[in-house]
Chains A and B, each alone.
Chain A
Amino acid sequence: IGSRRRRAALEHASNIPFEQLPYQCFQEARRVLAEDRLDKVEKIEEQRKRISKLLEKIKTVETAQDPNGHTKLQGLKDSLFLSRKHLEWLKVQADINDPLVKRKFEDGFGDMSKPVYRHLADQKWRSYEHKIVMQRITQMNVIPDVLPTIDPIVQLNISFKGKRVQHGERLNTDKTEHAPTLRMQAFDQGERLVTIAVVDSDVPNVEEDDFDHRCHALFTNVRVSPTSGVVDLGEVAQESTVMPWYPPHAQKGSPWHRLSVWILQQPEDVTIDKNALSEKYTRNTFTMRRLVSQFPLKPIGVTMFRTSWDETTKDVMERNGIEGADIEFKKAPITPMRYKKKDGARYR
């Protein structure tokens, strides 16, 4: 039934809001935190003034014709970057001690346009799911088969027909026949343009006794922000589609196919020409390494799932006009080496 003090307060007015509950220590704590918040708000104002002064200085150095201006400019730009980072930190610290913010975030109502909720979401992601993604793509050798390394800064989840897919999950071919929905959660402010690529890295190549890569989807110039990150790959605009969704199909006898989904960030205000991409790559000549080296793209998010031959694959391949449903791969028989009989007399 709660403490005596709370009951006494509720005698006079029901539904006291949480922050006004008459607990002495709690109210003292709130007073201390409110003072600290005022302090942080002042510091934010100061920092904003400092940043605007820095921007003016950068402008003057850029316009002046100084032979040593290049190094000075670089120093100022570094200083600007650090000042902005500190400003973001101050904004987070102003709100992070607020129990209402904590409650709102824990209940899932955090507004991702605010830095404190983005910070809490990033913290939560990094504490578990980020580690799981890195573990799965390392164990499945997506790193370094597809790309040498990645440091994910965007949370990426895919779902087929509303059903969420775990990282590395094995899916039936009929589930993956139609394009998935991507849910991207960015933790730094602002909009950005991204390129989305889905790669199958285990396409068997019989002549070379090796595996090829195949592109199952390629989209470019997709706008993503912390508040809008849900992209249905079947509904992407024509100008952004380079290669639409191609259903993954693992032929009989081939080992597990790893399908990795990559989010690549385009630099500030850089639009990639869709025709340049479609001229350079076809589905079967596409590799992520070539894409990343030939275009200014930085991988920021990744996930993966797996497929193999199951009872639905044949139908999916027929429906989509993919040949090769009747092929079965087999392991080449190994001729054993001639057994070299040892001279028995020496080992008696």
Chain B
Amino acid sequence: MASNSISRWLSWPRTSPCLHVQQAPSPSRLLPSSQSFIQTASFSTTPSLQKRKNKNQATTDPRIKLIRYALYHPALPRPLRFSRNRSLRHWTIHRAWNLFRAKERAAQQQDLENLYNSMRDACEALRHLDEAGMSEAIGQGGKDQGRLFRIAMMKRGVWSGEKNSGSGVPIEYARAQTEYPSREGWNYAWRR
């Protein structure tokens, strides 16, 4: 593929593209009819002039070609130039794809919102439960009202589980050593 692109970039003047279509793969799934057809003739019947081939052509050393390509080839691909219909089709596909992605994102956000709401409602219901499992108004259920809720809200062992008796901080909270910004900031009490 690379050599193909190098030779395309460096061969000058360009030869006309070949118009012969030897054997097209059958486009039967595109057409309403189930018949496949194979195109063997070229499209145009008028003879097209090709470049005259010199017998003793001065060819550049392929190693020089390679060096030039490595040093000078542009990083940007050549600009696309679309016809009116082509650009309209591109625009339609772009609009549809963006619409599709926006819908997906909205559905994901809605999903997360539903999850959060259900968790919040569950915690709220738990907060009202007393030791008999009955829902009372807050303050009416005795000292054990919402006990399970309070246990659920404890953060013990959130990071390291029960391994280090619930302590331990994730290593990502550690701070890489940098010069700026300093941990202490400006030292107002500094004296020489």
Interface residues of A (CB under 8 A from B): 1, 4-5, 8-9, 11-12, 18, 21-23, 25-26, 28-30, 32-33, 36, 97, 99, 102-103
B92 touching A8 by the CB < 8 A rule? no
Known: A29-B97, A32-B100, A36-B99. A97 touches B30 (CB 8 A): no
Give the Cβ gap from A89 to chain B, nearest Cβ, in Å.
15
State whether A30 and B43 are in contact (beta carbons under 8 Å apart), knowing that A8-B27, A8-B31, A22-B30 are contacts in the complex: no
Please determine whether B96 and A28 come into contact, CB atoms closer than 8 angstroms: yes
Q: List 18 A-B contacts (CB under 8 A).
A: A1-B43, A4-B24, A8-B24, A9-B31, A11-B37, A12-B31, A12-B33, A21-B89, A25-B93, A29-B97, A30-B92, A32-B96, A32-B100, A33-B92, A33-B96, A33-B99, A97-B95, A102-B91
B30 touches A5 (CB 8 A): yes
Across the interface, which residues of B come within 8 angstroms of A12, CB to CB?
31-33
A23 touches B89 (CB 8 A): yes
Task: Report B's interface with A, CB cutoff 8 A.
Answer: 24, 27, 30-33, 37, 43, 84-85, 88-89, 91-93, 95-97, 99-100
Let me know if B89 and A103 touch, CB within 8 A: no
Using known A-B contacts A1-B43, A32-B99, determine if residue A26 contacts B27 with beta carbons closer than 8 Å. Answer: no
Which 10 pairs show the lowest CB-CB distances between chains A and B?
A: A29-B96, A32-B96, A29-B93, A99-B88, A8-B27, A97-B95, A26-B89, A99-B92, A29-B92, A22-B30
CA distance A319 to B178 in the complex (A): 85
Q: B30 — which chain A residues lie within 8 A by C-beta?
A: 5, 8-9, 22
Q: Tell whether, in the assembled complex, residue B88 and residue A18 are in contact, meaning their CB atoms are under 8 Å apart.
A: yes
Contact B31 A33 (CB under 8 A): no
Other than the known A12-B33, A18-B85, A21-B89, what 14 A-B pairs have Cβ atoms closer than 8 Å? A1-B43, A4-B27, A5-B30, A11-B37, A18-B88, A21-B85, A23-B89, A29-B96, A32-B100, A33-B99, A97-B96, A97-B99, A99-B88, A103-B88
Cα–Cα, bound, A99→B96 (Å):
11
Give the interface centre of A11, A28, A32, A103 by most chain B CB atoms within 10 Å: A32
Q: Report the bound CA distance from A25 to B95 in whole Å.
A: 12
Q: Which of A11, A22, A26 contacts B92 (CB 8 A)?
A: A26
Residue of B with least CB distance to A25: B93
Q: Which of A5, A29, A103 contacts B95 (CB 8 A)?
A: A29
Q: How far is the CA of A28 from the CA of B84 in the complex (A)?
A: 20
- Is A99 a contact of B27 with CB atoms below 8 Å? no
Give Cα distance in the complex from A29 to B91, angstroms: 10
Report how far A25 CA is from B93 CA in the complex, Å. 7
Nearest A-chain residue to B30, judged by Cβ? A22
Most chain-A Cβ atoms within 10 A of its Cβ — which of B33, B43, B89?
Answer: B89
Separation of A33 and B91 alpha carbons in the complex (Å): 12
Q: Tell me the minimal C-beta distance from A8 to chain B in angstroms.
A: 5
Q: Which residues of A contact B100 (CB under 8 A)?
A: 32
Report chain B residues within 8 Å CB of A99.
88-89, 91-92
Chain A residues lying within 8 Å of B33, measured Cβ to Cβ, are 12
Q: Which residues of A contact B93 (CB under 8 A)?
A: 25-26, 29
Provide the bound-state CA to CA distance between A36 and B27, in Å.
Answer: 30
Please report the C-alpha to C-alpha distance between residue A23 and residue B100 in the assembled complex, in whole angstroms.
19
Select from chain B the residue with minimum beta-carbon distance to A30. Answer: B92
Q: Inside 8 A of B91's CB, which chain A residues have their CB?
A: 99, 102
The contact of B88 among A8, A36, A102, by CB within 8 Å, is A102
Most buried by A among B24, B27, B92: B92
B97 proximity list for chain A (CB < 8 A): 29
The one of B27, B37, B92 in contact with A97, judged by C-beta atoms closer than 8 angstroms, is: B92
CB closest residue in chain A, given B24: A4
A32, B33: Cα distance in complex, Å: 26
CB distance from B16 to the nearest CB of A (A): 13
| Least distance between B33 CB and chain A CB atoms (Å) | 8
Q: How far is the CA of A9 from the CA of B100 in the complex (A)?
A: 28
A5, B25: Cα distance in complex, Å: 11
Closest Cβ of chain B to A18, distance in Å, is: 6
Cα A316 to Cα B72 with chains together (Å): 67
Instruction: Report the separation of the CA atoms of residues A88 and B84 in the bound assembly, to the nearest whole angstrom.
Output: 29
Residues of B with C-beta under 8 A to A11: 37
Closest residue of B by beta carbon distance from A3: B86
